[in-house]
Structure formats: C-alpha cells, structure tokens
Amino acid sequence: MQPKSSAHYQREYRKRLREQGLVKKEVWILPENTAQLTAYEKELREPLGLRSTNGSTLMKGEQPMTDNMTRWTTTSLYEALCKADMFVGKRAEVELIDGVSPALHIVMFDYGDLPVFLTVSGEQIIVEAMLWSASEVKNVDRFNEAVLRTHKYFPLSTISLDHMDGDDCYHMFGALSSASSLQNVLFEIEVLASNVIQATEAYSEFLKESVAA
C-alpha cells in the first residue's frame, strides 16, 4: 500500500479539531517564537477550568525537564515512552519495530493519525515523518527553492529529500542528543508533528490538486 502524504493527515487533523469545537485563529509572530506559540496553543485547547494556573505550558502529568545521565537506546526509550502521559492518555501510540536497526513507529492521534518514526543511533535521536513524494509536487525546482528560503520558520525541524521505494520523497525531521531528557524527546515528537501539519498548509500551493485538496 502506497504511503499517504501529510496532506491526508492534515485533513484528518482539521476534521478532528472541528469536531472538538475548536476554531482557527490567525496570528502573526516572530519566527523564533514559533515553538513557544505551539505550547500556548496546546494549553488554549483546554477548557478554562483545566488549564494550568501557574503559567507553565507543560502538558498535564508531565514533570519539568531533568538531565538524563545515560544515553537512550531504542528499546529503553520505547519502555520510557510507553509510561509517558502522551501514550498512557491515548493521545498517541508507539510500537517497537525490531531488527538490525530498530525503530519506533509512533501514531499521533492528535494530528490526524500522523505516523512518525524515531530511531536512536549512537549519540543521536532522529524523529521524522514523510511529507509527500516528489511526483506529487507541481514544480520540483520552484518547491525546492521555496523550502530553502522558508524552512527556518519551522523550529527544530528540517526538510530533506530521500530516495524511498523507487521514488524521491520529502521528509521532515528533527535531531537531538541520545542523552536528552525524556521531556525533550516528547517535545521533539510533538513539535515535529505540529510542523508537518503547518508545512503541508504552507506549501499547499506547490502540490498537485489531488494531494492538496
């Protein structure tokens, strides 16, 4: 089965937000404040009575970030994520894909069931999601130029072009140290998912109608 592009998950994401009674509001901010806005947006989706009263934007049930003195492996990170609020609360699910190079397959229910993949390799953790294939872009040269000029507006994430199953595909990924705290890993996963949805909207004019619709 051919992988679905991020546009599909964006549509599912919007549909679920509308079903929750949420409305879209456009805001204008400095690019360096995007990550902070993402945290505030998450808090503002909660009813007034459930919001944090101490000014913190941590998700419910989470603890402040602490230093992790050892490096994660894929297996140890899987075990830790299974106990994290994001997964215990069924906002996402995680599966360990075992093999020579094990990986974690994460389904982000809050983002239209967007699939995210996480790998741990030595000193680095990579979190990534597929955007769309090059064949789904109207004009690859124009799109590549637009990405180079604007991808800095998506904090903590970068867009790459990779060969996959006989086709060139665009991915969005983030990287962090394998000694990062669990809270930093969770934040990276959440920000990446949010950035994929925002990138799909931002670059929709470059996609063929069958993808962007």
pLDDT of residue 191: 92
Both tokens of residue 77? 């990170």
Q: Is the pLDDT of residue 62 over 60?
A: no
Strand partners, 209: none
User: Backbone phi, then psi, for 106, in 5-degree steps?
Assistant: -115, 130
Give the model's pLDDT for residue 207.
93
Number of domains in the chain: 1
Q: Is 122 left (phi over 0), alpha (psi -120 to 50) or beta?
A: left
Q: How many degrees, rounded to 5, is the angle at CA 126 between CA 202 and CA 71?
A: 145
Residue 1: inside a domain: no
* Residue 195 placed within a domain: yes
Residue 71 included in any domain? yes
Q: Quick one: pLDDT band at residue 47, thresholds 50, 70, 90?
A: low
- Token readout for 156 is 């903590």
Residue 63 falls inside a structural domain? yes
pLDDT given for residue 188 in this prediction: 94
Question: What span, in angstroms and rounded, lies between the C-alpha atoms of 38 and 57?
Answer: 10
pLDDT tens per residue, range 149-185:
988 888 889 999 998 878 899 999 999 999 999 999 9
pLDDT tens-digit profile of 191-212? 999 999 999 989 999 998 755 5
Phi, psi of 93 (to 5 degrees): -135, 150
- Its domain, for residue 202, covers 6-212
Instruction: Please state the rounded mean pLDDT for residues 61-84.
Output: 75
User: Whole-model pTM?
Assistant: 0.69
Q: At what angle do helices 6-19 and 182-202 cross, to 10 degrees?
A: 100
Angle subtended at Cα 74 by Cα 72 and Cα 78, rounded to the nearest 5 degrees:
95
Predicted pLDDT at 179? 93
Whether 58 has a pLDDT exceeding 50, the answer reads no
Let me know if residue 134 belongs to a domain: yes
pLDDT tier for residue 31 given thresholds of 50, 70 and 90? low
128 inside domain = yes
pLDDT digits (tens, 9 = 90+) for 112-143: 999 999 999 889 999 999 999 999 999 999 99
Residues 73-102: tens digit of each pLDDT = 999 999 999 999 999 999 999 999 988 789
Domain containing residue 205: CATH number: 3.30.1460.10
Q: The tokens of 83 are what?
A: 């106990």
Q: pLDDT grade, residue 66 (50/70/90)?
A: very low
- Looking at the chain, list the stretches that DSSP marks H as alpha helix, in order from N- to C-terminal side: 6-19, 34-44, 74-82, 85-88, 140-150, 182-202, 209-212
- Cα–Cα distance measured from residue 53 to residue 43, given in angstroms and rounded to the nearest whole number: 11
Structure tokens at 78: 């899987």
| Helix count and strand count (H, E) for the chain | 7, 6
Kindly indicate the confidence band of residue 65, based on its pLDDT and cuts at 50, 70 and 90. Answer: very low
Please tell me the predicted confidence (pLDDT) of residue 122.
Answer: 86
Mean pLDDT over 15-26 rounds to 70
